[in-house]
A = this chain, B = another copy of it.
């Protein structure tokens, strides 16, 4: 049986987009429930400026709780080397760093050029203790909210330096806008495998803004990718179009892979219990179809009973 690994990014990418503070105990309870549903990789939090992102001010406590769960590999996002240091001091064993191919998008995110962010990445790689793992998120790898379509050549050129900096990092190509279509996803993942060889570990981060989260994930799978990001209940919204859908819902991906006989290790029913709680979070912008379809069917079954 073929298998894939799902990285649940709701507790970082999702919670980050929620304005009202989510009590730390509730965050930890959700991570516990995700773990109980079989999730084994979670982007648990981010070490970042507390004034910039007060929602994640409890990063150290959340990380400690996640590290205590058996078999769970919690990654934490760090925007700079300084925050990477804080994360490592707090016991992080898996760091995630993000930079953007689009200069304008990268400046908007971290006030640096992509080349400056690449230096920051090199500094993090240099400080990483031996057993710690590294994920690199390459934002706007396909499409930029400001510039539109990104040339494959631009993404590949940036990757040349990044791959050389850390050949053992997992690299996620991110569809930041949700505007990419399946042929483009497949083409770029085939191109990176051709260019960098079969040993690198690639991941895909889909958005469902234009209804193509599952189709694009499938295209990446077809190109050989086996690691996929998802956010439970589609939590996160779309920063470039508030009111629209952002992250693809983890349960939609699990449903698709289940149906195709591809193991995710995640129990859909357990995951849906978390999804229902996520929808109840004040300020949550959610998405996804499977949750709604199954809730509607359960409601009918109850009426019929």
Contact = CB atoms under 8 A, between A and B. Distances in A.
Contact of A218 (B215, B242, B300): B215
Interface string A294-305: 011101100000
A292 B240 CA distance: 12
Nearest to A143: B259
Nearest to A287: B289
Given A211-B249, A215-B215, A293 B256 contact: no
A36 interface: no
Contacts of A256: 181-182, 210-212, 215
A40 interface: no
Q: Interface residues of A toward B: which range? A: 35 or more
Contacts of A299: 243
A209 B259 contact: no
A209 B288 CA distance: 10
Contacts of A208: 211, 289
How many copies altogether?
2
A129 interface: no
Nearest to A241: B296
Contacts of A198: none
Interface in A201-241: 208-215, 217-219, 238, 240-241
A157 B39 CA distance: 41
Contacts of A244: 289, 292-293, 296-297
Nearest to A289: B211
Interface in A262-305: 288-290, 292-293, 295-297, 299-300
A218 B209 CA distance: 17
Contacts of A258: 181
A300 B242 contact: yes
Given A181-B259, A261-B183, A210 B252 contact: yes
A297 B212 contact: no
28 contacts: A181-B258, A181-B260, A182-B218, A182-B260, A183-B259, A183-B261, A184-B260, A208-B211, A208-B289, A209-B289, A210-B256, A210-B293, A211-B249, A211-B288, A212-B252, A212-B255, A212-B256, A214-B215, A218-B218, A218-B219, A238-B296, A241-B296, A241-B300, A242-B296, A243-B295, A243-B296, A244-B289, A245-B293
Interface of A: 178-184, 208-215, 217-219, 238, 240-245, 249, 252, 255-256, 258-261, 288-290, 292-293, 295-297, 299-300
The 8 closest A-B pairs by CB, nearest first: A181-B259, A211-B289, A241-B296, A215-B215, A211-B252, A244-B293, A244-B296, A214-B215
